[in-house]
Structure 1
Amino acid sequence: MSLIQMSISAAVMIFVITAIRAISINRLPKKTFLALWGLVLARLLVPFTWPSPFSVYSLAKYSGAEQISGVPIANVLPVIPVTTAPAAVQNTAAVVGVTPKGWIWGVGLALCTLYFAIAYIRCRFEFMTSQPVENEFTVRWLAEHKCRRSVVIRQTSGITAPLTYGIFRPVILMPSETDWTDSKKLQYVLAHEYVHIRRFDGATKLLLTAALCIHWFNPLVWIMYTLANRDLELSCDERVVRMFGETMKSAYALTLIDMEEKKSGLTPLCNHFSKNAIEERIEAIMKIKKTTVCSMVIACAVVAGVGSTLATSAAAAGIPDDFIYIKEDIAVKFVPDPSIYAKYSSFGVTISNDGTSLLYKGQKIRLFNDAYSDETFYYDKNGTVNLLAVRSSAGEITGISAISEKEAQKYYDAFYADETNYSNPEPLENGKKYNMYYGAYGITFRADENALYYNGQKARLFVDETDGWYPAFWVDETGTADLTVVRDSTGQITGIKSISKEEAQNYLKNSEVDEQDIERRAEKRAQETAARYRKK
């Protein structure tokens, strides 16, 4: 999945979870919302997804299943234009591939990361001035609350409310004004921070911050960051109440109010016992009730429902067996067009009576390709023979040749590969091929000069363009002639012609098209072809 796809998918989840949270924040266990935010984090940080028949994207994509099975889609996959220009031209295109949007995102990522990093480093420097607390109460408390990681209690004048920081060496940091004789209040405060430590909430905050920096452009991710931090506190509050009993809810709420920070400040990656939505926390504490089987079942159902419908992608289930998958969740079926395959009929290639299959001497064709025609590519996984059209050096069809499964796989991979000429997996790359394909029309490759000549004139630019893709593209700044291949309406070569300097310059500019533009052009062509078939 692309970054934008991940962000949009997560935005839908955040919107739904925010609505669920508003309705049921005091009705479901608080861990429910932590699990839901965990699903969102996975969608924001993991660049792949899991297919599910219950996914809303399955419903959205295949709600019109009759359209997929009823509309023949033949040869609608994009044909990406490529060049075989010298390395200098290709390197220029690679540089152009860095889009303005990519730069903007990178700058935003750097600034957001820098902001959080500076804030955290400043806090850590301040925390380093703190002093360890070793009194009778803290010694006893640490002895009673064992943890596999070494927990330390320290205090500093730089804060006014308790907090926890550190993942592998957690520290509970207390204000220097803490009354160490008020053991009851301290039990509540330290229990809250201890729950943060046991749950690795510091690591959770780190992941939330990473997701925010990566998807800084998505306002819903900022909402998630705020609400998820609140829910970490609410879940810890709920756990503390469970530990001490519901009868102490009022005392715990009063402690929360008493320990509220008098001033606010950003201390990222730290867990606060502070005024993080203080009113919401107090209300939630007072409404905590005993967890029932019913509430647990509902909580599990909510998490499972959101996970299976929103955190997954469209599933393959329900697609007819004769459809094949290409990229991610796109399925197509090749239906042979009589106008395209009629020229091969004299060589034994025909279309079945029902018009859905391509045959060769009565056998079902698995793969058929013609390197000279970008419209001629057919694939049926239920077929048995793999074939290639054979042409003469003049480009005329001379026969049909059977190819091995290994060779067929190369053509199949080339057809679906990114930034590859789909119809011809071996575009012209050396002089011999230029002589073979264009020699009859006056083109000569001289190996000793590594140059192309046309009727004795050295070529500066030589282009063979057919319907948006380039079987040949040659650039030599030492040349003088700018040339293109002339083809008729059937795609057959009829000659070579000279072009103006302006036309040549346009070709050079087009050779430096970036990847996103290539994808846009390919998608447009795919849509136009699909529309043409729908009209039939």
Structure 2
Amino acid sequence: MKKTKKISYALLALPLAACLIGCSAAAASVLPHGSGETSALPSESTSMYDVAYAENGVENAAHDEAVLKEKLKHYEEFGMVYDSDKDVLYYNGKLVRWFEDYYELSAEERAGIDFFNENGVVDVYAVRDFSNLIQNDDGSFDPSGKIIGLKEFSDKEFAERDINAIKNPPRAVCYAGGGPLTPDEAQAIADEYAAFGVTYDATIDQWYFNGEKVRFFQDVLTSNGESLTGGNFHGAIRSSWNENGSIDIYTVRDFANLNTSGNGTLSGVEKFSQAEFDKHTQAEFSEHTQREVQNSSGECVVIQE
């Protein structure tokens, strides 16, 4: 049995098919290798973020293989090769069981890539140099540093790795695919909802629906028609959470008629029922969202295995 997960920015485990992430642009410090767990909690966010999301799985097989192959090419000079025909990794000729390459985005967020093949005989991690971070045009720094090598985990670490945790990860896994949205992008998002009573106050990162503060805002942008919780959903979700809100809302879209952005045409916005609101509070959001996330929003691509 094999599972792979690709994470382009922040990685987060949540119990619901919705991704609520606030990403930080803080420069990374050295991230020590360790347990192989791929979870991080989001920091408070006061702006919109572009986020990708995967739920226990991988995307279209051909696309996924091409993306993975391209990502893993960077490790070839250090002795690790990806065999796309067998979908396996080799490090110095040895079949890789677990590979991880992570770097920190902030004290609570990390990013990177990992790969798992239960039949492998060696666990490997990437070594990165964070001493000279590259500065971007906007003045921020690329937190990924520079890959300078690969190393094997010790025999003890190999034996102690919790394979069951890797084979049965949390139901939802999120990863961010970009930085904060520009003001124009955020405004474009808000403009789409305006005709249906939804407005956005960027100064306090607060959505409103007919004048009421919104707590949870879920917009299923694209869908294959399956239930979000049924295990077969494939699509994209935009979501927002603000603990100051008093209502939860969701969009209604026509997925048979796509708009210029490739999303279903927006036809309405509705309130979740009080029972659903209470369920969000007590079941799905209470442990993670209310304790760890005060304000966050993002856009997610959801794929099922």
Higher relative contact order (CA 8 A, sep 6+): 2
Length-normalised TM-score, structure 1: 0.21
Report which of the two has the higher share of helix.
Answer: 1
Report which of the two has the higher share of strand.
Answer: 2
Length-normalised TM-score, structure 2: 0.34
